[in-house]
Amino acid sequence: MMMFCLSPARSLTLILAVAALSAPALAQSGGLDDLVDGLAAESKEALEASEARVKKWFADADIQALKARADAGNASAQVAFADRIRDDLLGEPWAREKTQQQMLKYYALAMAQNNGLAFARVGEIAESPDYSWKMKRRSRDRGEAISYYEKGAALGNREAAAGFLRIALDPNYCSFCEDQGELKFDRTKREAAGLLDKESGELSIAYRTEKTEALAKAIRYATPVRLRAGDAAAHLLAAQYLTGVQYHWRSGIGITESQKPRWQLLEGDHLLPRNTAKAIEILTELSGRGDNLASRKLASLYFTGRNDGGGAVLRDYDKYIFYMDRAVTNGSVLAANDLGFELLSGRKLPADHARGFEYIAKAALKGYGPAELSAGYALRDGRGVTKNDAQALEMFKRAADHGELDGAVQAAAMYRAGRGTTSGRAEVPNAYAYEKKAEAMRKLTPAMADVVRRGHQDKFD
């Protein structure tokens, strides 16, 4: 069996090439026995704990069954098995290098069968600083990443298309750039590209030519004939059309008189100019396919209106309600909460308390904290619904349990006033409990409070 070692300086391309050559032999092994290598200088206790975790992982019946399907040649199973290694074992100190080899081997096996998702996964690994750190590589390599993304995108994989678009849209990246977060040209990469002896004007032209061609290709990948709900590439492109992407100022320096004819085809401030109409076109198709996020984005555009150079969008509350209601009908808790709140409050929309409560109730019954808080107020005050102190108190308590400070405050106040209590009288111990809960919430820093809120909201996105 051909063995290979992973060093920080070694590219994923080379590792995967070796994996592909040795795949038939490796496919019959790849178990725990292959994961014995020189251990890093971690403590004995940490290594023993890591070894136990890895052995337990490989002994799991579901893992063994998945690996058997992967070894039988099923490309989807090969990707799934590699994904499990990536998610569960990558970064474990015990047998680190062989673990990485196993992960990349199974991705290579799937890529050999033209599995687009496998190309996307390897692109993610090459692009991610987090994975680079876990694999003890010196740095990410977006040059490798974009090449894998392109292959996956050409095979029709939407995650790969999103990855290719993401890198293509970054004005600080090019094949001969340093890729350190700011546009600078790398000497070694310039030499490899035959640009070492070129002056700044030629470099500017080469940079913009590459970016223009990559972006045109990325847009083709991101906008197939038929979009599907949740398409990450289409969402990314729509978002960038709304904001536009500017070139770095360094990308247009040093142009000489003789270079101006070529430069005229490339000049301008934007790699991707703002185009609100294009964004709306993409989001409208996604919304029609049942994409709740697209419906909410469209609703937001019509709620606020827009006129920032990319094309005007007139404020249109009827369209706002239409797209939010479409998302609610399709199961969006966030849309139900937001639309219900606007109808209850009457801040911008004409108030419709009964209809607003119907939307709020849908989100509250799903356990969404902000909706539970709004429902509590409505039930307490009889706004859009018959007044019911007992149900209001229950809603405030649920909101408090889901991180809403005002929910705890209102629950404590109702217990002290004896409103909605089972006894019909003030219940001081319960009031005190919710006052303590509110006090604990107030002690959170704004950043921590936001983390708690986001953690709850993310369950419903």
pLDDT at 415 over 70: yes
Residues 178 and 127 in one domain: no
Q: Does residue 152 contact residue 120 with C-beta atoms inside 8 Å?
A: yes
Q: Which residue has the tokens 């579901």?
A: 62
236, 257, 273: which is the final residue of a domain?
Answer: 273
Mean pLDDT, residues 378-395: 97
- Residue 459 CA to residue 405 CA, distance in Å, equals 19
Residues 151 and 186 in one domain: no
Residues 6+ apart with CB under 8 A from 19: 4, 26, 101, 104, 105, 107, 108, 109
Q: What is the DSSP string of 215-273?
A: HHHHHHHHS-SS--TT-HHHHHHHHHHHH-EEPPGGGG----GGGHHHHTTT-SSEEE-
Strands 270-272 and 245-246: antiparallel
Any domain includes 93 = yes
Any domain includes 40 = yes
Residues 1 and 129 in one domain: yes
- In the chain, the percentage of residues whose pLDDT exceeds 90 is 69
Residue 313 bridge partners (DSSP): 306
Among 134-143, 176-185, 320-329, the least confident range: 134-143
107, 126, 156: which is the final residue of a domain?
Answer: 156
Mean pLDDT, residues 426-436: 96
Residues 149 and 80 in one domain: yes
- Domain residues for the domain of 56 are 1-156
Q: Does residue 151 contact residue 107 with C-beta atoms inside 8 Å?
A: no
Angle made by CA atoms 22, 24, 28, in degrees to the nearest 5: 110
Residues 227 and 99 in one domain: no
**How many independent structural domains does the chain possess?**
2
**In this predicted structure, what is the pLDDT of residue 13?**
62
Closest C-alpha among 45, 33, 49, 21 to residue 98: 33
3-state secondary structure at position 461 = coil
pLDDT at 86 over 80: yes
Q: Does residue 360 contact residue 391 with C-beta atoms inside 8 Å?
A: no
Closest C-alpha among 189, 159, 190, 185 to residue 172: 185
Looking at every residue in the chain, the average pLDDT score rounds to 89
- Residue 26 CA to residue 74 CA, distance in Å, equals 15
**Which has more confidence, 174 or 20?**
174
pLDDT category of residue 335 using cuts at 50, 70 and 90 = very high
pLDDT at 26 over 70: no
Mean pLDDT, residues 214-238: 93
Residues 81 and 229 in one domain: no
Residues 1 and 134 in one domain: yes
Any domain includes 432 = no
217, 239, 273: which is the final residue of a domain?
Answer: 273
Q: Does residue 415 contact residue 394 with C-beta atoms inside 8 Å?
A: no
pLDDT at 148 over 50: yes
**In this predicted structure, what is the pLDDT of residue 40?**
43
Residues 18 and 142 in one domain: yes
